[in-house]
């Protein structure tokens, strides 16, 4: 049996625009404008989302009745939450360097990159009995899913770009993962 994973990155937030570590914040995009996409989700056995407000709002905008799942939460950035990247860089240059170069480092006191990838991988493995699972979540979680699925070196996480309000499609069949598309803009289905 093939399992399809449709992973949707939540709409833009103020933290994203300011290059800051996110808080639990709302989307800033005009919800009416996004709603004009009239995107129709494909049929799915499971529809879920991260528990944060921005993922919940994106699910609602898309007309999805998503069940919040804790495993889909954003990376825990510890004490860096709400701070701009350049401010943290100025105050803790060694911390930023460690975070970007050592996947086992958590200088912010939160979650390591390795821990994020393991958490997301466990969630993915638990979904494999579904034919199709849709999840609205965070770019970091989607990057972790790609790294896990393709068994890529952990540091390739930083080389994957997932923009807000985009779709990534992964398939699992015969114990092999396939990446069908990543970071694709949501389009109106007519």
Look-up of token digits 């954003």: 74
Q: What is the pLDDT of residue 54?
A: 95
Q: What is the pLDDT of residue 189?
A: 47
Whether residue 19 has pLDDT greater than 60: yes
153-171 per-position pLDDT tens digit: 999 999 999 999 899 999 9
Q: What is the pLDDT of residue 128?
A: 83
Whether residue 47 has pLDDT greater than 60: yes
Average of pLDDT values for 14-23?
A: 92
Using the Cα atoms of residue 152, residue 165, residue 126 and residue 1 in order, give the sign of their dihedral. Answer: negative
In the chain the first and final C-alpha atoms are separated, in Å, by: 29
Whether residue 188 has pLDDT greater than 60: no
Domains and CATH numbers, the chain: 3-77+111-185 (3.40.50.1240)
Q: Which residue has the higher pLDDT, 88 or 129?
A: 88
Q: What is the pLDDT of residue 190?
A: 41
Q: Lowest mean pLDDT of 40-54, 92-106, 111-125, name the range.
A: 40-54
Decide if 62 contacts 41 (C-beta within 8 A).
yes
Whether residue 90 has pLDDT greater than 60: yes
CA distances from 131 to 44, 127, 165 (A): 7, 9, 23
Percent of the chain predicted with pLDDT > 90: 78
């Amino acid at each position: 049996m093939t399992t399809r994973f449709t992973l949707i990155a939540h709409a833009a937030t103020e933290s994203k625009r300011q290059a800051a570590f996110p808080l639990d914040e709302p989307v800033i995009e005009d919800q009416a404008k996004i709603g004009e996409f009239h995107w129709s989700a494909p049929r799915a056995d499971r529809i879920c989302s991260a528990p944060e407000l921005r993922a919940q709002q994106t699910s609602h905008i898309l007309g999805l009745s998503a069940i919040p799942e804790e495993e889909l939460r954003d990376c825990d950035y510890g004490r860096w939450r709400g701070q701009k990247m350049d401010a943290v860089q100025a105050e803790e240059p060694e911390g930023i360097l460690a975070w970007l170069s050592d996947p086992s480092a958590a200088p912010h006191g939160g979650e390591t990159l390795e821990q994020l990838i393991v958490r997301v991988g466990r969630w993915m493995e638990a979904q494999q009995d579904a034919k199709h699972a849709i999840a609205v979540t965070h770019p970091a979680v989607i990057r972790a899913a790609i790294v896990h699925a393709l068994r890529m070196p952990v540091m390739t996480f930083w080389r994957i770009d997932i923009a807000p309000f985009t779709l990534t499609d992964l398939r699992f069949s015969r114990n092999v993962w396939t990446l069908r598309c990543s970071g694709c803009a949501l389009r109106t289905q007519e």
